[in-house]
Amino acid sequence: MLEVRWHGRAQQGVVTAAKVLGETCLRSGKYVQAFPEFGPERMGAPVKAYNRVSDEPIKMHCSVANPKYVLIADPTLIGMSLAGGMETSGGVTEGTPEDAVFIVNTPKSPAEMRTALELDGKSAKVFTVDASQISIDKIGRHIPNTPMLGALAKATDMVTLEDLIDDFKVNYAKKYSEAVINGNVEAMKSGYESISEG
Amino acid sequence: MTDKNGNEEYPIGGVILDGGNADGYETGGWRKLKPVLDKEKCTNCLICWVMCPDSAIIVEDGKLVGFDMEHCKGCGICDVECPDKINAIKMVSEEEAD
Amino acid sequence: MAIENAKEAQVGLTGNSAVALAMKQVNPDVCPAYPITPSTAIIETFSSYVADGEVDTELITVESEHSAMSAGIGAAAAGARVMTATSAQGLALMWEMLYIASGMRLPIVMTNVNRALAAPINIHCDHSDSMGARDSGWIQLYSETVQESYDNVLMAVRIAEKVKLPVMVCLDGFITSHAIENMETINDADVQEFVGEYEPETSLLKESELPATYGAMSLPDSYMVFKKQQSEAMSGAKKVVEEVSAEFAQKFGREYGLLDSYELDDADVAIVIFNSATGTTRVAVDELRKEGHKVGVLRIRLFRPLPHAEIAEALKGLKAVACLDRVDSFNDFGGPLFNEVRSSIYDLEERPKVISRIYGLGGRDYKVSDARSVFEELLGIVETGTVKEITKYITI
């Protein structure tokens, strides 16, 4: 079973990102969970969301304690001791295994982020993608969730970019205008293409 | 009707399925004073019939003919409402009336 | 928003959207609505079905939960099929009317998304709301997963109308209500066939009847007779839940009992628990079984009426049992589950030791490791034969 943790701030779309990821994996035949951890529910407040993806039905209903994949939609959460909605949340590296994969939304280099995450000399992988700039360019708003999904498709074999785009087009056609759908699809592609590993 | 435990069978949820069932509840037993009509004085204005809270004023062919003693609670509203100049209804004790 | 899985016709829905979908498919006559976190999305989604003309339901927006239940009672007395949803303070504000709904024998179906009662104010999951209402005369079904929440709402309609008592379907706030999980839906026509037309025997609007009185006063000469009827109806509900669940299983292939036993047959120790935490406990059972420990879990699906004989049967032969309550009774003697399970097994010739553990209040996470700790404590009790602490708070 794969476990994923998303860190962001309210209004950055991490809950939706976890939802899209869960739905995409479900469509490819997996058992999934996608759930948020809400705290104060105010714009800018730290928010976490989780995914579990498995070939078997998922029994457990606790929060994800040891995520292999950590996606950080806001780099200012790095180093905070309370990088989630609740007092018991812990920081962005809390509980991560040795082989964890971090994907950070930042214009900075993976090496700089590795240091910021205090992972120098560790075997964890660190990727960066300037998802904020991509979302402003492609969607016209600062919602870095879809470029980060694209980046996840490139960095891991959890999902393919094609499946993500298919799922998004099918499921959000009613909710969003064609322009918004196309913008997000472009943002996913751009996130996929511009991710850096270090 | 009784059930197997000897209890009377009550409708589920206390629903009362017939309308106008106040007729079956005799409130006459609550009475301390009873109305007595002086037919000589009565003009059949029927204000008492309008005001009686228990529909206990018996009217036939537009005329007051008596009181429904099974339902009259002896409240005396008919006595009060009977116009002062007429004063055809008086409330008296049950013994006094007999 | 539903996504088809090509392979297994599965969709990914949150608990709230699954319940709203079930309500849409039932197409009730009336839905009194006063949304509250974490059940807000049920009413929000259902009201969009109403606005889009996908249901024929009269959605009554009221000014409080007390009014929501009052409107539901009036509508149900008039012969309408009534469904609504609430949580926590909302359920608490309905309190007076809960007893009136059950006393008047009205088959209202309400989803309660479990949330902690204030104070301190908290929006997250525990069972203090529905456990507080456990003696209000409502049938209570508890749901482990999104799938079961959906299935229970559909079955609740049948159960309520057959027993003539209201049914409360409980699922965990946020943990189930806001989590997307795989589930299978039933198509609209099959749902309609399963729930059928609602034809109340009596109602205010039934033309064939004389004018009727609902909610009349009943003095000492008759009140107790009505309560005895209600009590007997509640006892009889057990059989109805079994029958409706069996028919559901036969039609749709998903089986539900009054209780849900997992690895209990040869178990020495077990956890008894409600709702989503059961799954987390199952993982601990799987782990400990691999390590050679005979552990199991008993989930209570039906809590009102209490399947006491079935609980005694399920726990017969065990050596130690922990009842995990996501609520405190503030009685210095454990939670409601503990007290009722302990009482249920009293007449067994050989009884297991029973301890109370209170967990997860106000959304506190209950992890696999927490379940393991309880099992380890139970195995210790079996080994030493002594219980050090009958009642204790855990996950704190």
User: Would the CB atoms of C213 and B16 count as touching at under 8 Å?
Assistant: yes
The answer to whether residue B12 is domain-embedded is no
Taking contacts as CB-CB distances below 8 angstroms, the residues of chain C near A36 are 174, 178
What is residue B7's predicted lDDT score, i.e. its pLDDT? 56
The answer to whether residue B7 is domain-embedded is no
The answer to whether A34 contacts chain C (CB < 8 Å) is: yes
Inter-chain CB pairs, A–C, below 8 Å: 78
Q: Which of B10, B13, B17 lies nearest to residue C104, judging by beta carbons? A: B13
Q: Which of C11, C181, C367 lies nearest to residue A62, judging by beta carbons? A: C367
The answer to whether residue B35 is domain-embedded is yes
For residue C6, what pLDDT band results from cuts at 50, 70 and 90?
A: very low
Taking contacts as CB-CB distances below 8 angstroms, the residues of chain B near C201 are 12
User: Would the CB atoms of A27 and C179 count as touching at under 8 Å?
Assistant: no
The answer to whether B1 contacts chain C (CB < 8 Å) is: no
The answer to whether A121 contacts chain C (CB < 8 Å) is: no
What is residue B77's predicted lDDT score, i.e. its pLDDT? 97
Q: Which residue in B has a C-alpha nearest to residue C103's C-alpha?
A: B13
Residues of chain B with pLDDT under 50: 1-2
Q: Which of A35, A170, A171 lies nearest to residue C178, judging by beta carbons? A: A35
**Do residues C170 and C127 touch, judged by C-beta distance below 8 A?**
yes
Distance of CA C81 to CAs B45, C28, C57, C74, C160, Å? 50, 5, 9, 11, 10
For residue A10, what pLDDT band results from cuts at 50, 70 and 90?
A: confident
Q: Which of A29, A38, A58 lies nearest to residue C5, judging by beta carbons? A: A29
Q: Which of B13, B14, B18 lies nearest to residue C210, judging by beta carbons? A: B18
What is residue A175's predicted lDDT score, i.e. its pLDDT? 87
For residue C5, what pLDDT band results from cuts at 50, 70 and 90?
A: very low
The answer to whether B50 contacts chain C (CB < 8 Å) is: no
User: Would the CB atoms of C210 and B17 count as touching at under 8 Å?
Assistant: yes
The answer to whether C351 contacts chain A (CB < 8 Å) is: no
For chain C, the average pLDDT equals 95
The answer to whether B15 contacts chain C (CB < 8 Å) is: yes
Taking contacts as CB-CB distances below 8 angstroms, the residues of chain A near C12 are 22-23, 26, 32, 34
Taking contacts as CB-CB distances below 8 angstroms, the residues of chain B near C104 are 13-15
pLDDT, one tens digit per residue, over C228-259 is 999 999 999 999 999 999 999 999 999 999 99
Inter-chain CB pairs, B–C, below 8 Å: 49
Question: Residue C3 pLDDT more than 70?
Answer: no
What is residue C7's predicted lDDT score, i.e. its pLDDT? 43
Cα(A194)–Cα(B93) distance, integer angstroms: 104
Q: Which of C1, C172, C179 lies nearest to residue A171, judging by beta carbons? A: C1
- The number of folded domains in chain B is 1
Architecture of domain A2-197: 3-Layer(aba) Sandwich (3.40)
CATH number at residue B68: 3.30.70.20
pLDDT, one tens digit per residue, over C23-64 is 999 999 999 999 999 999 999 999 999 999 999 999 999 999
pLDDT, one tens digit per residue, over C347-374 is 999 999 999 999 999 999 999 999 999 9
Report yes or no on chains B and C touching (3+ CB pairs under 8 A): yes
Taking contacts as CB-CB distances below 8 angstroms, the residues of chain A near C172 are 61
pLDDT, one tens digit per residue, over C86-126 is 999 999 999 999 999 999 999 999 999 999 999 999 999 99
CA distance C223 to chain B (A): 9
Q: Which site among C100, C210, C234 would you substitute to test the B interface, given the most B Cβ atoms closer than 10 Å to its Cβ?
A: C210
For residue A105, what pLDDT band results from cuts at 50, 70 and 90?
A: very high
Taking contacts as CB-CB distances below 8 angstroms, the residues of chain C near A88 are 365
What is residue A29's predicted lDDT score, i.e. its pLDDT? 93
Query: Which strand (E) or helix (H) includes residue A189?
Result: helix A178-194
The answer to whether C236 contacts chain A (CB < 8 Å) is: no
Question: Residue C325 pLDDT more than 80?
Answer: yes
User: Would the CB atoms of C276 and A167 count as touching at under 8 Å?
Assistant: no
The answer to whether residue B2 is domain-embedded is no
Taking contacts as CB-CB distances below 8 angstroms, the residues of chain B near C207 are none
For residue C201, what pLDDT band results from cuts at 50, 70 and 90?
A: confident
Determine the average pLDDT of the residues in A93-109: 96
What is residue C351's predicted lDDT score, i.e. its pLDDT? 95
- Would you state the structure tokens that stand for residue C273, as one six-digit string? 């628990």
The answer to whether residue B5 is domain-embedded is no
Question: Residue C208 pLDDT more than 80?
Answer: no
Show the domain range for B59: 27-97
For residue C2, what pLDDT band results from cuts at 50, 70 and 90?
A: very low
Taking contacts as CB-CB distances below 8 angstroms, the residues of chain C near A175 are 1
Chains that touch B (3 or more CB pairs under 8 A): C
What is residue C1's predicted lDDT score, i.e. its pLDDT? 41
Distance of CA B9 to CAs A91, B5, B13, C161, C222, Å? 67, 10, 12, 21, 10
Q: Which of C10, C123, C280 lies nearest to residue A61, judging by beta carbons? A: C280
Domains of chain C from N-terminus onward: 11-252 (3.40.50.970), 259-393 (3.40.50.920)
Q: Which site among C1, C125, C180 would you substitute to test the A interface, given the most A Cβ atoms closer than 10 Å to its Cβ?
A: C180
CA distance A154 to chain C (A): 23
Query: Which strand (E) or helix (H) includes residue A48?
Result: strand A46-54
Chains that touch C (3 or more CB pairs under 8 A): A, B
B10: three-class secondary structure by DSSP:
coil
Determine the average pLDDT of the residues in C212-225: 90
Cα-to-chain-centroid distance, residue C189: 26
What is residue A115's predicted lDDT score, i.e. its pLDDT? 95
pLDDT, one tens digit per residue, over C379-392 is 999 999 999 999 99
What is residue B20's predicted lDDT score, i.e. its pLDDT? 79
User: Would the CB atoms of C225 and B8 count as touching at under 8 Å?
Assistant: yes
The answer to whether B11 contacts chain C (CB < 8 Å) is: yes
Q: Which residue in B has a C-alpha nearest to residue C214's C-alpha?
A: B15
Lowest mean pLDDT among A95-104, B7-16, C125-134: B7-16
Distance of CA C291 to CAs C170, C295, C321, Å? 34, 10, 19
The answer to whether A33 contacts chain C (CB < 8 Å) is: yes
Q: Tell me the three-class secondary structure of chain C, residue by residue.
A: CCCCCCCCCCEEECHHHHHHHHHHHHCCCEEEECCCCCCHHHHHHHHHHHHCCCCCCEEEECCCHHHHHHHHHHHHHCCCCEEEEECHHHHHHCHHHHHHHHHCCCCCEEEEEECCCCCCCCCCCCCHHHHHCCCCCCEEEECCCHHHHHHHHHHHHHHHHHHCCCEEEEEECCCCCCCEEEECCCCHHHHHHHHCCCCCCCCCCCCCCCCCECCCCCCCCCHHHHHHHHHHHHHHHHHHHHHHHHHHHHHHCCCCCCEEEECCCCCCEEEEECCCHHHHHHHHHHHHHHCCCCEEEEEECEEECCCHHHHHHHHCCCCEEEEEECCCCCCCCCCHHHHHHHHHCCCCCCCCEEEEEECCHHHCCCCHHHHHHHHHHHHHHHHHCCCCCCEEECCC
Determine the average pLDDT of the residues in C277-295: 98
pTM reported for the whole predicted model: 0.92
Taking contacts as CB-CB distances below 8 angstroms, the residues of chain A near C279 are 58-61
pLDDT, one tens digit per residue, over A171-187 is 898 889 999 999 999 99
Determine the average pLDDT of the residues in A7-27: 94
